[in-house]
Amino acid sequence: MFPLRDDVPSRRAPVVTWALIALNVGVFVWQLTLPEPGVRRLFFLFGIVPARLSDPAWAAASGLPPGGLLPLLTSMFLHAGFLHAAFNLWTLWIFGDNVEDRMGRARFACFYVACGLAAGVVHLAVHPASTVPTVGASGAIAGVLGAYLRWFPGARVLTLIPIVIYPLVIEIPALVYLGLWFLTQLLSGATSLGLPDVGGGVAWWAHVGGFLAGLALAGLFARRGPAQLPGGDVRHHVLPNVSVRRDPRWGGPA
């Protein structure tokens, strides 16, 4: 399934969402200028490689500095290819603006990073001996999806579903779209536990961890103000109807 758009309008310009997309695009364009060995070195130094923490001897033998938690942050801004970057950033474009709207810019920026860190920690916990670098913004974006599900379950997501060669485009509730997405990540993650540690795979458990972090942290980062309806509209406070008596002396209200 590929999301095309949702039906929840934003009330404010999603400046942080745009900035995150621009930063990721800028880093990816810079990656394209590097030779293949340089990109590989970049991923091992600034991607999440669990064995750097769990096996310092392996890290030293591989010419990598042991330990270090900085890759939990830097890995969020690296991507393994054009399609990897494009799908991640398109998903952030579709869902990030509404979550940023609910949180405010500063809170959303902190929330995004927190979800990305949580996703990285879950990946480390599930694959502590992995020697394969993990890169991508998908863990942090999964957190955005979790917050979106919490606040906008009734939103409609226009979705492209490729069926063989016939593209089916339908609107489905966000609850269904994101619920199926999460179930896919969970089942794929469970299946991957029995597979050998090879490169080029998907960090399913990072997605699961980021999504659950987004669900759990959304309320903590929410902007304090008028409550929003599930569809994203603001619940305005309206004064009750009051009958007005005209004062005959002035021709206006009494």
pLDDT-derived band at 223, boundaries 50, 70, 90: confident
pLDDT-derived band at 247, boundaries 50, 70, 90: very low
Q: What is the pTM of this model?
A: 0.84
> What percentage of the chain has pLDDT greater than the value 70?
85
**What structural domains and CATH numbers belong to the chain?**
2-192+203-223 (1.20.1540.10)
pLDDT at 253: 39
161-198 pLDDT per residue, tens: 887 777 888 999 999 999 999 999 999 888 888 766 65
pLDDT-derived band at 232, boundaries 50, 70, 90: very low
Q: Which residue has the tokens 């929330």?
A: 111
| Residue 169 dihedral angles phi and psi, to the nearest 5° | -115, 115
14-53 pLDDT per residue, tens: 999 999 999 999 999 999 999 999 999 999 999 999 999 8
pLDDT at 167: 81
Q: Is the pLDDT of residue 135 over 50?
A: yes
**Mean of per-residue pLDDT scores for the chain:** 85
DSSP assignment string, 52-105? HHH-HHHHHHTT--S--STHHHHGGG--SSHHHHHHHHHHHHHHHHHHHHHH-H
Higher pLDDT, 226 or 130: 130
H or E stretch at 178: helix 174-192
User: What is the distance, to the nearest Å, from the Cα of residue 231 to the centroid of all Cα atoms in its chain?
Assistant: 20
Higher pLDDT, 157 or 249: 157
Q: Are strands 252-253 and 246-247 parallel, antiparallel or unpaired?
A: antiparallel
Q: Please state, in angstroms and rounded to a whole number, the distance separating the CA atoms of residues 76 and 42.
A: 13
Q: Does the CA dihedral 175-127-72-89 come out positive or negative?
A: negative
